[in-house]
Structure 1
Amino acid sequence: MPARVRELDNPEQFFTAMGEELEAAIEELARTLAGPTPIGEPYMDRVQRLTTARFEAEGQVLRQMLLTVG
């Protein structure tokens, strides 16, 4: 959408703010999806749980926020 970008007064500020908003939404959802750390959870299980939550959050937030922009 080059025409829409050209219409922005300050594209750098717009995309910086959008990136920060996306990151905050991803972080919040990832924490929710990961849930609390179970007592005695092995390190590699924790890494897998947190990584899976992060990837899932990224997918959900990007679909929700970016696909509605167009």
Structure 2
Amino acid sequence: MPTAFELRQRNEKFAKDARAGKNPTHLSRQEKLAKRSPINLWALGVICFVVIGGVVFELFRMIFL
């Protein structure tokens, strides 16, 4: 178990880092928005389905018909 002196030192270090902004615990709203994709996941799935499905059907048509 850490001593009171060690706890005080760790608390001071954490407080200093928090004041300096080096170790944020939660992302800011701007950072969350920057990480988001500009297109919804379902819309991306629909686009992939149309493109890949079109390629598959075209290959099927060329090979078997």
Please report the TM-score for the alignment, with normalisation by the length of structure 1: 0.37
Look at both structures and tell me which one has the larger radius of gyration over its CA atoms: 2
Please report the TM-score for the alignment, with normalisation by the length of structure 2: 0.39
* Higher normalized contact order (CA 8 Å, seq sep 6+, divided by chain length): 1
